[in-house]
Copies of this chain bind each other. A is one copy, B any other.
Amino acid sequence: MKNQKRTTIHDIARKLNIAASSVSRALNNSSKVSASTKELILKTAKELNYKQNFLAQNLRKGQNQTIGVVVPRINQNFFSNIIAGLEEVTYKNGYNLVICQSNESHEREVQCVETLIHQHVSCIVISISVEHTNDDHLKNVLAQGIQLIQFDRVAQDLETFKVINDNEQAATEAVSHMINQGYRRIALLEGPQNLAIFRQRKAGYLRALEQHRVPVVEELIIKNAWTKELGAKATRKLLSLPKPPDAVFASTSDFSALGVLEVANSMGFKVPDVLGVCGYSNEAFSEITTPSITTVDQYSKKMGKAIADLYFEEIKEAPNSTVYKTVSIKPKLIVRSSTQRKNIPG
């Protein structure tokens, strides 16, 4: 049964005693074929179990109906939902998705991008790795005439299409909510500041403090605490201070917030009464921890769809446009137990 020949348009043509070009036209529903022959061809194609050959089609047309995606990790909720959203729209449009993981390594990311360029995909959708140092590989994408859409973690200075969240606004809301719950010494766990999203979240934190006239305390701002382990480590340090914080905004992720939670629990700081905790990105687990974690939902699946829509509705239509649009999706604060005090002081 194996390795049998697939039927081609020539098989159909031969059987029907017509030209292959007519078969091609009929299959593409061209108006330049009579309805009767078209019908006959379609019927025969079905009989012979004909499947068009993507490779030949794309080679001939000089395009590849494939979109490449590069994400740091596919097993984080945020990214897997992005992909689910992308998938829905791209498949509907007859395009394929090739997914690569950078594993947060810049080097691996460059490799992924090379592979995708190599395949001459129509468009590359990317969220850069935490190690991001330069934009050369992204510039190269553009230079090759391949469309580029950055999302979430974007290289700000590089002009491309972008789909992002308003991180600053979300962070401001999160911290304001904590202040309203009576927290006053709110620590910030920063992400690596080479990424714009983490700079923006820090800005949002500072803005909220300013708006509510809460003083900024430098020792409560911890750099580079963006994984569960680093979040835990930062928390051990914070909770050992002479004047420990009464809340922690883990601005990078729920993973980091989880680290906070575990250390707080083990050091006997009761969450949320003695210590408030807020995370970011609404990972599935944030709902099931004890207590559940207040976080920011980024509407990831919707974001994935927005990216694909951007490609199919705008970019594909005007591939030579140099007007780069940025789509911003408003995230939403999800208040859960970890910041809801029974008795709000003061």
- Count contacts on A: residues with CB < 8 A to the other chain: 47
A326 at the interface (CB under 8 A from B): no
List B contacts of A56 (CB < 8 A): 59
Residue among A52, A83, A284, A289 facing the most chain B CB atoms (10 A cut-off) = A284
Are A320's CB and B2's CB within 8 A? yes
Query: Among B75, B81, B262, which residue has its beta carbon within 8 angstroms of that of A77?
Result: B75
Chain A, interface SS category: mixed
- Segment of A34-42, A142-150, A192-200, A338-346 engaged in the interface with chain B: A142-150
Query: Among B75, B142, B144, B288, which residue has its beta carbon within 8 angstroms of that of A80?
Result: B75
Are A145's CB and B4's CB within 8 A? yes
What is the CB-to-nearest-CB distance from A242 to chain B, in angstroms, rounded to a whole number? Answer: 30
List B contacts of A285 (CB < 8 A): 284-285, 288
A30 at the interface (CB under 8 A from B): no
Query: Among B58, B75, B142, which residue has its beta carbon within 8 angstroms of that of A75?
Result: B75
A263 at the interface (CB under 8 A from B): no
List B contacts of A1 (CB < 8 A): 142-143, 145
What is the CB-to-nearest-CB distance from A88 to chain B, in angstroms, rounded to a whole number? Answer: 10
A119 at the interface (CB under 8 A from B): yes
> Considering the chains assembled together, what is the distance between the CA atoms of A118 and B96 in angstroms?
11
What is the CB-to-nearest-CB distance from A57 to chain B, in angstroms, rounded to a whole number? Answer: 9
> Considering the chains assembled together, what is the distance between the CA atoms of A34 and B96 in angstroms?
40
A120 at the interface (CB under 8 A from B): yes
A59-B59, A84-B101 in contact; A3/B145 too (CB < 8 A)? yes
Give 20 pairs: A residue, B residue, CB < 8 Å, sorted on A. Answer: A6-B144, A53-B59, A53-B120, A54-B118, A54-B119, A55-B58, A74-B80, A74-B84, A75-B75, A75-B77, A75-B80, A75-B81, A75-B84, A75-B284, A83-B99, A262-B288, A284-B285, A285-B288, A289-B289, A290-B290
- Using A1-B142, A56-B59 as known contacts, list a sample of 18 further A-B pairs with CB atoms less than 8 Å apart, ordered by residue number in A: A6-B144, A51-B117, A52-B118, A53-B59, A54-B118, A55-B55, A55-B59, A59-B59, A74-B80, A75-B81, A75-B284, A84-B101, A87-B100, A87-B101, A91-B100, A262-B288, A285-B285, A285-B288
Interface residues of A (CB under 8 A from B): 1-4, 6, 51-56, 58-59, 64, 74-75, 77, 80-81, 83-84, 87, 91, 96-101, 115, 117-120, 142-145, 258, 262, 284-285, 288-290, 319-320
